[in-house]
Chain A
Amino acid sequence: MELFLYTALFSPLVGSLFAALFGASKKTKMAGIIPSALLGLSLISSFVLLVSVLSSGETVHVEMMTWMATGDLYIPFGFVVDQVSVTMMMVVTLVSTVVHVYAIGYMDHDKGFNRFFSYLSAFVFSMMVLVMSDNFAGLFIGWEGVGLCSWLLIGFWYHKESATWAANEAFIMNRIADLGMLIGIFLVYWNTGTLQYEQAFAIMPSLEIDVLTWMGIFLFIGAMGKSAQFPLHTWLADAMEGPTPVSALIHAATMVTAGVYLVVRANPLYDLIPSVGLFIASLGAFVALFAASMALVNRDMKRVIAYSTLSQLGYMFAAAGLGAYWVALFHLMAHAFFKALLFLGAGNVMHAMHDELDPFKMGGLNKVMKGTFVMMTIASVALAGIFPLAGFFSKDLILEVAFVENHYIIYSVLLFTAGLTAFYSFRLVALIFHGEERYKLFGIHPHEAYKFMLVAMSPLLLLAIIAGSFKMTYFEMVTKLLPATEYHVHSSLTYWIMTIGTQLFVAFAIVYAYKKYTSRDIKVPDGTSKLENCFCYKLLINQYYIPRFYEDYIVKSYRELSEIFWTKIDQKIVDATVDGIANIFYQTGERTRVMQSGNLSTMLKWMVAGTVTLLSLAVAFGLAARYSGEIKIFLSGLGV
């Protein structure tokens, strides 16, 4: 089994290095195919591991080598394949394999083709390290690794100012959160003396509740950054500057869910501190609503999907915060499939529309892009949570959890958000694929993507449809590690009312969205309509003015502070000191340069003068050594 573990872990790295070999040379198909094939290998290995874990229930735990061993600190490069990590491995390898194959087509005309695959595979490797590590330090390496790769990939088209800006924003926000995470890890080590999950979690129940609370809070701050939870959420929408496969893989399916994974992984800790858990759940519910509301009006196709990701992450945190870790993980898995599918579909549309992102400028694309249309519609249905697609099982479960745990506010917020989700998803579908062919106004001739891209997407399509049927298998597997709480509404009548009510509500939202956005009156908004001038619309389209708030109050003040530090402290003190020291030497050199007149006779004189100096020193020290006693008495007489 160890062989499969190492294969799963390291084949993406090999693929990345292979593609990196061609990083500077011209586009070669090999640089895309080999990493994809290696990822396929990784997927197969993960699948073998999954089967083994499923059938025998045994976990694989290896210690590759010692990383740090100093004093009491012992951190190995250890990897574990248990029920949780194997789920994540499956999600990661599956989605990334699909995305890799898809990207071969998507990035076909890009100059940075080889570079792209190198980064993408490196990302997968980091993600694998993150999910497979058996200790917090390894998790942190993976955590930083995915952050780095995310930065590289968001800023992939680095000649675009907006892309580099978005990359930096994502990176800096993540660093801020990572500081919290690091403090959390330090706290864990400080109090438990180990970073291994098993040992640390075994010690935790004996610790004081305050300490645990701080640990939980700081670790969750890290998760907030990575999963773009409020108030560190702004980077995710901006991260859509990256190529679409990147958005699908990193900013929808895998990396952003790392925060959820962390909370799930640290479930023994969060079980001990229900107050923090409640906070997480409330924040999750809030973000779900908050992000969904922004998605309602946004006019950028990819951003809408990004907000929807944000919203779904909120669902996951709500579940995890309420202690339903397996539900959170299940939703994570299901979400990865249909969200990646949605993004890849959006990528097809973008290609067809020559990088046009405004859905108002599309319309009626279902005639030319049948495959994409079907896929995106099914993905949206799954996202909306219509029976029997994947979203139904996972999202309904979260609603049930909230209901059963008697958190009715969270429940109603999540329910309402489910309606919003359905609305904005189908607003998007309707605008893109139905209605009048508005793109003709802009002289665009859309075409369907390559066949193999559609084929590559088909596994995701399949999973988006059937993932719900794995629910019981999954439950049995994962609850060997996670708390096995089953959430059942007590009276079956309430259950049916809830389920059917939710379904009807969602269906109504879908129909309403269709009605509203397939009509012939839809025009490209030009900022004159009544709706666009209402306060709510402005608030939402400006993302609640949060980016502007950050810009005005944090970025600007920080910038001014930096300016002050730069001009006052750095230039006047630090630079001045360094320059001063350099100047002393420079001036001394300049002055003593006269000595080096090149005249040997003068030099000889200087040489003699040096000898005399040395001799005088010898005499002086000799005398001082001889009369040291007297000198001491004399000095003490002077009061020194």
Chain B
Amino acid sequence: MEIGLNHYLVLTTILFAIGLVGVMRRKNLLMLFFATEILLNAVNISFAAISHYYGDLTGQMFAFFVIAIAASEVAVGLGLLIVWHKKHNNIDLDNMSTMRG
């Protein structure tokens, strides 16, 4: 049984869907960050898979940069999270409703 590109794509889609579920149902900001990590990683897998099956390194390069971005996002995001926590003593999404229209 040969594993093809489609297998990988389906897998990444499933992972991505899980990430989406996380994004939508999590109310804790930290958990929300986890969910975004999942989303990014799902995409990374598909990049690597496409790169492999087409013999093109561009996909891997993209995955590489995505990792770099994810790392910086975590750094800044956590910093902000700490500031928010210091100020409000919670990191619950439902309490952040200053953007009410």
- Contact surface of A with B, Cβ cutoff 8 Å: 593, 595-601, 604-605, 608
Q: Which residue of A is nearest B96, CB measured?
A: A600
Q: What 18 new A-B contacts, CB under 8 Å, besides A597-B101, A608-B23?
A: A595-B101, A596-B99, A596-B100, A596-B101, A597-B100, A598-B96, A598-B97, A598-B100, A598-B101, A599-B93, A599-B94, A599-B96, A600-B96, A600-B99, A601-B24, A601-B26, A604-B24, A608-B20
A residues near B98, Cβ cutoff 8 Å: 598
Instruction: Give chain A nearest CB distance to B65 CB in angstroms.
Output: 22
CB-CB under 8 A from B99, the residues of chain A are 596, 598, 600
B contact face: mostly helix, strand, loop, or mixed: loop
Interface residues, chain B, with chain A CB atoms under 8 Å away: 20, 23-24, 26-27, 93-94, 96-101
Question: What residue in chain B is nearest A604 (Cβ atoms)?
Answer: B23
Do A605 and B100 touch across chains, with their CB atoms under 8 A apart? no
Can you name the residue of chain A whose Cβ is closest to the Cβ of B25?
A601
A584 and B33 CA atoms in complex are apart in Å by 39
Q: Give B85 Cβ to nearest chain A Cβ, in Å.
A: 16
B100/A601 in contact, CB under 8 A: no
Q: How far is the CB of B30 from chain A (nearest CB, A)?
A: 14
Grouping DSSP codes into helix (H, G, I), strand (E, B) and loop, the A interface class, with mixed when no group exceeds half, is helix
Q: Within the assembled complex, what's the spacing in Å between the Cα atoms of A604 and B100?
A: 14
Cβ contact within 8 Å between A605 and B93: no
A608, B24: Cβ atoms under 8 Å? yes
Distance in angstroms between the alpha carbons of A601 and B23 in the assembled complex: 8
Inter-chain contacts of A597 with B (CB < 8 A): 97, 100-101
* Min distance, Cβ A590 to any Cβ of chain B, angstroms: 11
Least distance between A608 CB and chain B CB atoms (Å):
6
Nearest CB to that of B27 among chain A residues? A601
Closest residue of B by beta carbon distance from A606:
B24
The chain B residue sitting closest to A603, CB to CB, is B99
Min C-beta distance of B16 to chain A, whole Å: 10
Instruction: Tell me the smallest distance from the CB of A385 to a CB of chain B, in Å.
Output: 83
Shortest CB distance B88–A (Å) = 14
The 11 listed contacts between A and B (C-beta, < 8 Å) are: A595-B101, A596-B100, A597-B97, A597-B100, A597-B101, A598-B97, A599-B94, A599-B97, A601-B24, A601-B27, A605-B24
Q: Shortest Cβ distance from A586 into chain B, in angstroms?
A: 14
Contact A601 B93 (CB under 8 A): yes
Task: Name the residue on A nearest B35 (C-beta).
Answer: A604
Residues of A contacting B96 in the complex (Cβ-Cβ under 8 angstroms)? 598-600
Question: In angstroms, how far is the closest chain A Cβ from the Cβ of B32?
Answer: 8
Known: A600-B93, A600-B96. A593 touches B20 (CB 8 A): no
A596–B97 Cα gap in the complex (Å)?
9
Q: Could you say which of A595, A596, A599 has the most chain B C-beta atoms within 10 Å of its C-beta? A: A599
Q: How far is the CA of A595 from the CA of B101 in the complex (A)?
A: 8
- How many whole Å from B79's CB to the nearest CB in chain A? 18
Cross-interface CB contact of A593 among B23, B27, B93, B101, cutoff 8 Å: B101
Interface pairs A-B: 6 shortest CB-CB: A596-B101, A598-B100, A598-B97, A598-B99, A601-B93, A600-B93
Bound complex: CA A597 to CA B94 (Å): 10
Report the bound CA distance from A596 to B24 in whole Å: 16
Assembly CA distance A604 to B93 (angstroms): 11
Question: What is the bound-complex CA distance between A271 and B88, given in angstroms?
Answer: 95
B90 CB to nearest A CB, Å: 14
Q: Are A601 and B94 in contact (CB under 8 A)?
A: yes
What is the bound-complex CA distance between A601 and B97, given in angstroms?
10
Specify which chain A residues have a CB less than 8 angstroms from the CB of B94 in the assembled complex. Answer: 599, 601
- For B27, what are the chain A residues with a Cβ–Cβ distance below 8 Å? 601
Give the chain A neighbours of B93 by CB distance below 8 A.
599-601
Alpha-carbon separation in the docked complex, A389 to B81 (Å): 101
Q: Which of A596, A600, A608 has the most CB of B within 10 A?
A: A600
CA–CA, A600 and B94, complex, Å: 7
The minimal Cβ–Cβ distance linking B8 to chain A, given in whole angstroms, is 19
Q: Bound complex: CA of A385 vs CA of B93, how far in Å? A: 99
Task: Output the least CB separation between A75 and chain B (Å).
Answer: 56
Q: Give the nearest-CB partner of A611 in chain B.
A: B20
Chain A min CB distance to B49 (Å):
20
User: Could you tell me the distance between the alpha carbons of A608 and B100 in the complex, rounded to whole angstroms?
Assistant: 19
Find chain B residues with CB under 8 A from A598 CB: 96-101
**Please, which residues of chain B bring their CB within 8 A of the CB of A605?**
24
Whole-angstrom distance from the CB of A605 to the nearest CB of chain B?
Answer: 5
Bound CA span A120–B94, Å:
71
Residues of B contacting A596 with CB < 8 Å?
99-101
Least Cβ–Cβ distance between A597 and chain B, in angstroms = 6
Residue of A nearest to B98 (CB): A598
Min CB–CB distance B15 → chain A (angstroms): 15
CB-based nearest B residue for A593:
B101
Minimum distance in angstroms from B7 CB to a CB of chain A: 21
Q: How far is the CA of A601 from the CA of B20 in the complex (A)?
A: 12
A601 to B21, CA, bound (A): 11
Which residues of the other chain, B, contact A599 by a CB distance below 8 angstroms?
93-94, 96-97
